[in-house]
Amino acid sequence: MTQPPRPLTTTAATSAPTEEEYDLIVIGAGAVGENVADRAVQGGLTAVIIESELVGGECSYWACMPSKALVRSVSALRAARAVPGAREAVSGPLDVAAVLARRDAVASHWDDAGQVRWLESAGIALVRGEARLDGAKRVVVTAPDGAERVVIARSAVAICTGSDAAIPGIPGLAESAPWASREATSAEHVPERLAIIGGGVVGCEMATAYAGLGSRVTLLSRGRLLSNLEEFASELVTERLRDDGVTVLAGASPARVDRAADGTVSIALEGDAAPIEADEVLVATGRRPRTDRLGLETIGLAAGEWLRVDDTLRVEGHDWLYAVGDVNHRALLTHQGKYQARAAGDVIAARARGEQVDDTAWGPYVATADHDAVPSVAFTSPEVASVGLTAAGAAERGLAVRVADYELGHVAGASLHADGYRGRARLVIDDERDVVIGFTAVGDDVAELVHAATIAIVGEVPVSRLQHAVPSYPTMSEIWLRLLETDRAQRRG
């Protein structure tokens, strides 16, 4: 067994900061940091997590959980109204106060006591404060009261600090006190008019939520919405948003943003379009790494940059340093960060024990699924569930592929789910290997379809073998049968 945490000898006369040793130091106590530490402790190491905010991180308090709580109330009401019998039982709009109260409960009222208890039960130490590297394996922590302590890593340091919303350099925007994702998911009121800059997942999800909560939403996007997904996903989400009263301005570029003395916001657009007037403006144009105050310059790395890692999550050129989750810019999704964390915690423990690490493509100590098998769900209306490559992405790689499309509304399970159900699904198949390399489904409540596709892609299951995976009837999973039949007909025709 490794040694327990050991305070190093210090003297009061020198006023030196308190020093401690652990096998592993984890900077950042979000879901990613928690999982790195937990797997390392399970592997026999001692671990400490350093956190300046709430234990549980962005996903628990300002991202995945509260945002989906907001969207869920909207989608539940829509689902009820789409089925006769239930439709007649529903009267009135959403109770906004009740929606926000449930959101608060889902976010644990921004109290991390439960997460702290979990750390204690897992045998993980917690230090509150701002962490910065001070050379190899040495971290200085500044507590909220200004006191400093030094923590030394015997084996490794893992940076799991995540990312922040990026605020583009639009004149006047920063001075206009814009909302970012944090403000949108924790807002105490619903603005009468909300302008959203950015047509990615965050922008579209928040447009869905706030339109459902009663805001008049204007969504500005330089290109089509959800531009990294299949084009039909963009089309169906755009159509539904407009049906819900959202003004979608694709191809719009803000030139300037100003907030007046009365609090209203004016967004001037490039060209001769009329300005957009709103009560709040939400910026959802991307993310930047939280690496600017970590002392990276003390080990020869650039502050404020994404950290490049290998498939064992080790930072290039530093055999003791790991970067896990958003900070390595591989896949900015909570579930992918936790996947990386499990690999990183295991490999850190294995290397600390002196084991030879198997870092082959699908070995136990690597995060290779981040390259080609990343599942994601946009909790928009309708939902978009996808994994692997789009048809365009496969073409960019020079792969010879074939595509099978099918209308989800023609599947019995979907037609039972809601009257007039609309949706679409696509398989992207590698023609040479005859395996699925991409899947996209768009429609209400399609999120649960994506894991079957993920297994097919990761397992590289031949299409001929998938014919024997029989979907239950009548469920939406029957889409798999219909897609495979479509592919078969296209090949024979």
Question: Rounded distance, CA 196 to CA 215, Å?
Answer: 12
Q: Under CATH, what is the fold of the domain 174-285? A: FAD/NAD(P)-binding domain (3.50.50)
Question: Rounded distance, CA 359 to CA 336, Å?
Answer: 18
Torsion 301-303-309-312 (CA) sign: positive
Question: Rounded distance, CA 194 to CA 196, Å?
Answer: 6
Helix (H) or strand (E) holding 19: strand 18-27
Given this model, what pLDDT does residue 45 score? 98
Confidence of residue 9 (pLDDT cuts 50, 70, 90): very low
Answer yes or no: is pLDDT of 255 > 90: yes
pLDDT 10s digits, 269-295? 998 889 999 999 999 999 999 999 999
User: What percentage of the chain has pLDDT greater than the value 70?
Assistant: 97
Please give the average per-residue pLDDT across 207-223, as a whole number: 97
Topology match between the domains 6-59+107-164+289-369 and 382-492: no
Answer yes or no: is pLDDT of 3 > 60: no
Given this model, what pLDDT does residue 329 score? 97
Q: Under CATH, what is the fold of the domain 6-59+107-164+289-369? A: FAD/NAD(P)-binding domain (3.50.50)
Residues 6+ apart with CB under 8 A from 425: 405, 406, 408, 439, 440, 441, 442, 443, 446, 449, 479, 483
The label of the residue with tokens 């500044």 reads: 142
The label of the residue with tokens 């300037």 reads: 256
Of 78, 30, 310, nearest to 213 by C-alpha is 78
Given this model, what pLDDT does residue 15 score? 55
Question: Rounded distance, CA 321 to CA 315, Å?
Answer: 6
List beta partners, residue 22: 153
pLDDT 10s digits, 51-103? 999 999 999 999 999 999 999 999 999 999 999 999 999 988 999 999 999 99
Answer yes or no: is pLDDT of 13 > 50: no
Given this model, what pLDDT does residue 443 score? 98
Q: What angle do CA 138, 140, 141 make, to 5 degrees?
A: 140
For 175-194, b/e burial (b = at least 16 CB within 10 A) is ebebbbbeebbbbeebbebb
Residues 128, 139 contacting (CB under 8 angstroms): no
Helix (H) or strand (E) holding 457: helix 450-458
pLDDT 10s digits, 115-155? 999 999 999 999 999 999 999 999 999 999 999 999 999 99
Please give the average per-residue pLDDT across 221-225, as a whole number: 96
How far is CA 215 from each of CA 206, 211, 241, 278, 330, rounded to the nearest angstrom? 11, 5, 13, 10, 34
Helix (H) or strand (E) holding 486: helix 479-492
Answer yes or no: is pLDDT of 1 > 70: no
Please give the average per-residue pLDDT across 401-405, as a whole number: 98
Q: Under CATH, what is the fold of the domain 382-492? A: Enolase-like; domain 1 (3.30.390)
**Which amino acid, 283?**
V
Given this model, what pLDDT does residue 19 score? 86
SS percent in the chain: helix, strand, coil, step 5: 35, 25, 40
Answer yes or no: is pLDDT of 4 > 90: no
Q: Where are the alpha helices (DSSP H) in 176-318?
A: 181-186, 201-212, 231-243
Given this model, what pLDDT does residue 359 score? 80
Residue 359 C-alpha from the chain's centroid: 26
Q: Where are the alpha helices (DSSP H) in 213-311?
A: 231-243
Domain range list for the chain: 6-59+107-164+289-369, 174-285, 382-492
Confidence of residue 7 (pLDDT cuts 50, 70, 90): very low
Given this model, what pLDDT does residue 39 score? 98
Answer yes or no: is pLDDT of 229 > 90: yes
Tokens of 290: 């939280």
pLDDT 10s digits, 360-388? 878 888 999 999 999 999 999 999 999 99
8-state DSSP, 285:
S
pLDDT 10s digits, 427-461? 999 999 999 999 999 999 999 999 999 999 999 99
The label of the residue with tokens 């990183």 reads: 344
